[in-house]
Amino acid sequence: MGLPRRDLEHHTYGDYLAWPEDVRYELIDGIAYAMSPAPTVSHQEVVLEVARQIDEQLGETPCRVLISPLDVRLPRGAEADETIDTVVQPDVLVVCDPARIDERGVRGAPDWIIEVLSPATAAHDQVRKRELYERAGVREYWLVHPTDRIVIAYRLENGRYARPDIAELTGETAPEAIPDVLIDWERVTRRLPPM
């Protein structure tokens, strides 16, 4: 089951900025999808630990790790912010071009996005957002399944995501997009309830 739509209208970032802040939405091709209720503690533990490890290792590089809620505007070209019709809030993202970061969030494709799956968002993240991130040019997209203890890693090759690498949350995994970073899955999984 997908996330519920706000309505059947086509929306832009300008519309999005005018909506009340008590309900969060993501815009994908002008369709507003209501964000699921607040994430679980396990979800947040994974987000925080993965972001902490990335931040520790980025050091003095130009890359920055950011976490949701943060607007990532994905324009199709050089259109003004208010006319962009795709705005998402990935759980964890890394941006290596400082010019893409402004006070509103990020404009343009991050280098690496990590979504932590929950039952309410799994289909949305695995299908709709994967297609969107591929089209936008996100170099690497990871889906972390805290319940199943697996990570699915998509990497951009010639403008398309290659067959994903699927691994258990054991040992260490390095993103190709940011090769100096290693995620130690033991540090992540020890924050989760026992299986």
Q: State the 10-residue block means of pLDDT for the chain, 195 residues long.
A: 75 93 88 84 94 95 95 95 96 97 97 91 85 97 95 96 96 93 96 84
Q: Which residue has the tokens 């705005």?
A: 87
The pTM of this model reads 0.93
Type of residue numbered 24: R
Q: 65 and 51 in contact (C-beta within 8 Å)? A: yes
pLDDT of residue 1: 46
Distance CA 43, CA 175 (A): 20
When computed from its CA atoms, the radius of gyration of the chain, rounded to whole angstroms, is: 16
Query: What long-range pairs does 72-77 form, CB within 8 A, spacing at least 24?
Result: 72/105, 72/106, 72/110, 73/13, 73/104, 73/105, 73/106, 73/107, 73/108, 74/108, 74/109, 74/132, 74/136, 75/107, 75/108
pLDDT of residue 76: 93
Cα→Cα distances 151→27, 38, 154, 168, 172, Å: 25, 22, 10, 6, 11
Residue 117 vs residues 90, 168, 189: alpha-carbon distances, Å: 11, 15, 14
Cα separation, 85 vs 76, in Å, equals 9
Predicted local distance difference test score (pLDDT) of residue 36: 72
pLDDT for residue 104: 94
List the helix and strand counts (H, then E) for the chain.
5, 15
Q: Domain 39-189, what architecture?
A: Alpha-Beta Complex (3.90)
The whole-number pLDDT of residue 2 equals: 65
pLDDT of 114 reads 98
Name the nearest CA neighbour of 108 among 129, 128, 84. Answer: 84
pLDDT of residue 56: 96
